[in-house]
Structure 1
Amino acid sequence: MQTKPVLGAAEAHRILEAARTEAERNGWAVAIAVVDDGGHPLAFARLDGAAPISAYIAQEKARTAALGRRETKAYEEMINGGRTAFLSAPLCATLEGGVPVVVDAVVVGAVGVSGVKSDQDAQVASAGAKSVAA
């Protein structure tokens, strides 16, 4: 039998708070979603001023990063590189801003952020992911 690390409530909230701190430090109104390795929600926050649609997009970015075991930026680059058939893939968020949370070389979940430029979303998500992975 194999064993693996699993995100608990304490880790999910640590990720959320680290991401929130990064967003607030930069004055960015974003939505932040934390999911487990199956893409199921663990923690969520929509900061003041974040557009309602960002809540949905953040959750989908997190789910896509968790299930795909990679940053959502990889999918965006694939499509921009000409692999447009990937637009029909069942994953909904092929935009940068979803980052997997990796512990002991295992993807244990992901963080999705939406609300600002895609590289800024990724910066906030990475800050959250690094808070547990470090």
Structure 2
Amino acid sequence: MSTTTTAAVAPLTIQDAQVLVESARAAAEAQGVAVSITVLDAGGHLLAFRRDDRAVLISGETSTRKAYTALQLDTPTADLVEAVRPGGLFHTLPTALDRPLLFIAGGIPVHRGGRLIGAVGVGGGAPEQDHAIAVTALGSALTA
């Protein structure tokens, strides 16, 4: 009889989420961009949220949808933009599902020990800015 063991991977904690939010906030401030930041755990549940006072109101929704999309597809949303264009692999996905998917750059999956443990989403700036802020936050959080 063969047995396999799987090493336990710590879930994304509220402390991790707070570090991600603070890192994203600092990155956005350095760029002069007002954003909303959402952190979800592996189950898609909200761990942390922050909206800058000057961020457009819809940024709260977009940051959450970007995080959800990155989590569900385990891919940065920036890498999915082409896939939903006509002829793309996921062209009909946004309308086929009754889920809050958003294929705009700014969502990044979070991994620990090679396992998906959550996602961070940033909304409020240009898509390229949101993506860069999320990437910076993830890099800072992993090294913190």
Q: Return the TM-score normalized by structure 1.
A: 0.91
- 2: CA distance, partners of 1:96 / 1:17: 20
For 1:58, which of 63, 69, 73 is the aligned residue?
A: 63
Structure 1, unmatched stretches of 5+, are: none
For 1:124, which of 133, 136, 139 is the aligned residue?
A: 133
Is the CA contact (8 Å cut-off) linking 1:100 and 1:111 kept in structure 2?
A: yes
5 Å-filtered alignment, 1:1-134, equals 2=6, 3-80=8-85, 82-83=87-88, 84-90=91-97, 91=99, 92-134=101-143
Q: Deviations over 1:21-58 (max 9, x none)?
A: 00001110110101111211101110121111110110
* Percent identity (aligned): 34
Moved over 4 A (4+): none
Q: Which has the larger radius of gyration?
A: 2
SS in 1 for 2:76: coil
SS in 1 for 2:47: strand
Change in Cα spacing, 1:93 to 1:15, as seen in structure 2 (3 Å) is same
Would you say how many aligned residue pairs link Structure 1 and Structure 2? 134
Structure 2, unmatched stretches of 5+, are: none
- 2: CA distance, partners of 1:4 / 1:38: 15
Q: Which moved more, 1:124-133 or 1:13-22?
A: 124-133
Is the CA contact (8 Å cut-off) linking 1:101 and 1:107 kept in structure 2?
A: yes
- 1: CA distance, partners of 2:30 / 2:96: 35
Is the CA contact (8 Å cut-off) linking 1:96 and 1:121 kept in structure 2?
A: yes
